[in-house]
Chain A
Amino acid sequence: MADTTPLIPLPRSAARLLIAAGAVATIASTFMSWTWTPDFPGDLTVYGYPAGLQVIALVAGLLTLLFSLTLWNVRGLRRLNPTGATTPYLFIALSGFAVCWYTAIAIAVDLGGLVNLDPGGYVAVVASALPVLGALALPRPGSGARHYFTKPEQPAPARPLTGWTPYAIIIAGIALGLLAFTYGIGISPDESETFIGFSLLVLFAAWALVHAGQLDRFSALCAQHKGFATTAAFIAAAIFPFTQSDDHNANLGVNILIFGTVALGLNIVVGLTGLLDLGYVAFLGVGAYAAALVSGSEYSRFAGTQFPFWAAALVGMAASLVFGVLIGAPTLRLRGDYLAIVTIGFGEIFRIAVNNMDGTSGPDITNGPDGIPAIPDLKILGFDFGDQHAVAGATLGRFANYFFLMLLITALVVLVFTRAANSRIGRAWIAIREDETAAVAMGINGFRVKLVAFALGASLAGLAGTVSAHVTYNVVPTPYQFAGSTPPNSAFLLAAVVLGGMGTVSGPLIGAALLYLLPEKLTFLQQYELLAFGLALVILMRFRPEGLIANRRRQLEFHETGQLDVPDSPELPDSTVGVTKAGA
């Protein structure tokens, strides 16, 4: 049996008291002043009114307190930590600890010395360390650090929920997600410190929830009520612009949607069919350029021709489709690494060709490096996307309008993805990913099926490209490169798919949101961004190779956690587990 003696020898009652007391003290500290000057981002000087990082510490404290109550077997709270594992307590305690200590260090560094800390700051530093000590006094999950990174055993099967509870839980979960997203996106880029604190909280809290088996249960619940969960998620996304007073955040939102939609298209090619395409951003570029050419911009080669949006979207899709087939037909005969290398090449060919088609180095089509500026706003059925519109008391700016259009397109792409994946052709794609030789021997025309995947992915990216051309006012060749420091580029798109989870719907969308938001908010990281990004990917691949959102299949593939039909194991009495393990 694994060694589970706690690191700190303390009786269980003392440990849980330490956690709860530390949490309460942390909460109290957030109502005090942490520093004397409002120079530090987020004004932490006011007594009785938490702000900025204090709010984040407050939330961490509340969560820690809530979790600690499960150690007393409070009725109804047992669901919070059904496995009875001790790691969630440690991680939730670490969230408060990380936020408070980071804040204290940031104050000391930014303002020059510990002298700038007010009493509240010292209280927070001490108080937030207590729950960590308490959690370390609980039995360890096993000898070795591995147990802190990988998920513990499969959670006990949830009791079937009846009536409205599953719906309420789904809505609550999605609302929580929306809340976290709007809060994160609402943090001003000048307050990088606040955003880091927020990221620490989200990271550790999510880690704790994963270890408590909550995320598994939630995703199982969503899978059970798929239609409802999807609808709720889209409604939540549609509420987002109403929560923003600033059109800048809506701009971030629409860019995330574009990026996420393209990543979802790439997921068909990479995640389902297993074709490593490293030049995928070119299809976004083809769609954007095609839409720009027929947008009625006076700098377009076809100045004066202004297609209605539906026609422009079709042109963008068709152009990408043709480009996809042209690239796919010769390259899809290659497998694995060779395909990846060739697709990089073709992706770069697009960018360089567009760069040169300026009338001097080549035919005058794309205006070369200047691109096509002054793309007019869309007008659909008299609705001008460039104007502000007042809807239900909220003013929706230009980007909010495009956000709604893009949300519709994302919904369409999600529909296409799920329907295609669960069909004869989707099965053929997955079969080719799994074993191309066997798939071909089972009667699948490998080349044709792969070409369909390639063409479908390309045309979906082209569709997103048509909107992106209008959102950004202009199209230039530079963003459509293989690797760069800002999304979208092929490397980031692939990272969004891999980070989020291959073969899933929500994975690439979440991955895209993270990859877009982090560089946007952590401006000070700009020089080290790619380094940090690479490190994050390495760490993720080491500990969670299936991505943030695990496809059921891939999860089973990477962690041999057992069968799909886990036999109903009798639920262990929560209270005794820790003690007996500790004694053994």
Chain B
Amino acid sequence: MRFGGLTAVREVDLTVRSGEIVGLIGPNGAGKTTFFNCLTGLYVPTQGTVSYRGTVLPPKPHLVTKAGIARTFQNIRLFANMTVLENVMVGRHTRTKEGLWSALLRGPGFRKAEQAGEERSMELLEFVGLAHKRDHLARNLPYGEQRRLEIARALASEPGLLLLDEPTAGMNPQETRTTEELVFAIRDKGIAVLVIEHDMRFIFNLCDRVAVLVQGRKLVEGTSDVVQADERVVAAYLGEPFEGDPGEAEAAEVEAAEAQAAEAGSDTETADAESTSTTKGEPQ
């Protein structure tokens, strides 16, 4: 993904399997959210493809959601002046069909669909623990509940892969734990989760695999032990220990990191971003 002369994300190849929780970490400005935007079609990648269950997705957000990838946003983007229930029902848009005519004629099919949609949405609200606030305006919810509502809204589109962009940003430790449990519960439903996060404890508790993104490139990918042990990750976050001539050592380190990253990306020739939720069974 390139913006003018700036290459924000380059040669990142990431595969998420069904029932897996994958973490995506990296320093600020590493391109994590840009990567998400590429996946969901908000940005049209200059190079590379996104494929889901073997089919290449067109870079149109609504088609991506329809195919089964749902997301939340880093800075919460709820429909502020709609009620909690309405927010979730909007999330069901792709899974319902009723158009203008059926809305105007209000046949039995319309009523049935509306009722089913409401029931399903209430189930989801119960799942995230917001059922008692169904008639509140989304804007009036406290911060943590807004985050959970956003997850419920994303789940309403019945995704196979859920992308969470910093779901615990600004939360206290207790709320973070609740979110952790929620993500596990989502995984148990058979939904693959790809999560961006800065809270390392949260990430390493949660994720089966973690990928590290630095300056638009994937530095390393593996289990939490592998990532934690990797010196380059520590360097990317904390910088080099100050020894001797820092300029030279740093340059060498960066060069090494770049060489490594190029190697990791070289197995896919043109892919900037690829997410495949290869499924063995049908996810629920």
Give the interface of A toward B (CB within 8 A). 415-416, 419-420, 422-428, 430-431, 434-435, 437-446, 452, 456, 553-554, 556-557, 563-565
Contacts and interface: CB of A to CB of B under 8 A. Distances in A.
Interface stretch (B80-88, B192-200, B254-262): B80-88
A419 B102 CA distance: 10
Contacts of B139: 556-557
Given A427-B82, A428-B90, A419 B98 contact: no
A68 B104 CA distance: 49
A430 B110 CA distance: 19
24 contacts: A420-B100, A423-B100, A423-B103, A424-B113, A426-B103, A434-B79, A434-B81, A435-B78, A435-B79, A438-B73, A438-B77, A438-B79, A439-B90, A441-B65, A442-B65, A442-B93, A442-B157, A443-B65, A444-B62, A444-B94, A452-B99, A553-B82, A556-B81, A557-B80
Contacts of A427: 82, 86, 89-90, 93
A553 B137 contact: yes
A416 B89 CA distance: 21
A443 B103 contact: no
Contacts of A423: 98, 100, 102-103, 110, 114
A429 to B, nearest CB: 10
Contact of A553 (B81, B89, B94, B117): B81
B137 A441 contact: no
A565 B135 contact: yes
B172 to A, nearest CB: 23
A277 B78 CA distance: 25
Given A424-B96, A437-B42, A563 B140 contact: yes
Contacts of A416: 104
Interface string B49-85: 0000000000001100110001101000111111100
A443 B80 contact: no
A411 to B, nearest CB: 14
Contact of B90 (A431, A446, A452, A553): A431
B40 interface: yes
B112 to A, nearest CB: 13
B189 interface: no
Nearest to B153: A442
Pick the most buried of B71, B73, B82, B136: most chain A CB atoms within 10 A of its CB: B82
Q: Lowest 5 A-B CB distances belong to which pairs?
A: A423-B103, A443-B94, A443-B65, A438-B77, A434-B79
| Dominant SS among interface residues on chain A | helix
Contacts of B83: 564
B91 interface: yes
B186 to A, nearest CB: 17
A565 B134 CA distance: 11
Nearest to B87: A431
A441 B87 CA distance: 13
Nearest to A416: B104
A569 B63 CA distance: 49
B106 interface: yes
A173 B88 CA distance: 37
Contacts of A553: 81-82, 137
Contacts of A565: 135-136
Contacts of B110: 423
Nearest to B105: A419
A348 B81 CA distance: 34
Given A437-B42, A443-B157, A563 B136 contact: yes
Contacts of A430: 79, 81-82, 86
Given A419-B106, A423-B98, A564-B137, A440 B82 contact: no
B82 A431 contact: yes
Contacts of B113: 424
B80 to A, nearest CB: 6
Q: Chain A CB within 10 Å — which of B86, B98, B153 has the most?
A: B86
Contacts of B96: 424
Most chain-B CB neighbours within 10 Å: which of A423, A428, A437?
A: A423
A423 B109 CA distance: 13
Nearest to B66: A443
Contact of B81 (A428, A440, A554): A554
B71 A441 contact: yes
B77 A435 contact: yes
Contacts of B40: 441
Given A441-B42, A553-B137, A434 B73 contact: no
Contacts of B99: 424-425, 452
B80 A434 contact: yes
Nearest to B71: A441
Contact of A452 (B100, B106, B114, B157): B100
B164 to A, nearest CB: 13
Given A431-B90, A438-B73, A564-B136, 20 more contacts: A415-B104, A423-B100, A423-B103, A424-B96, A424-B98, A425-B98, A425-B99, A425-B103, A434-B81, A434-B82, A435-B78, A437-B77, A438-B79, A440-B42, A442-B94, A443-B70, A444-B90, A557-B80, A563-B140, A565-B135
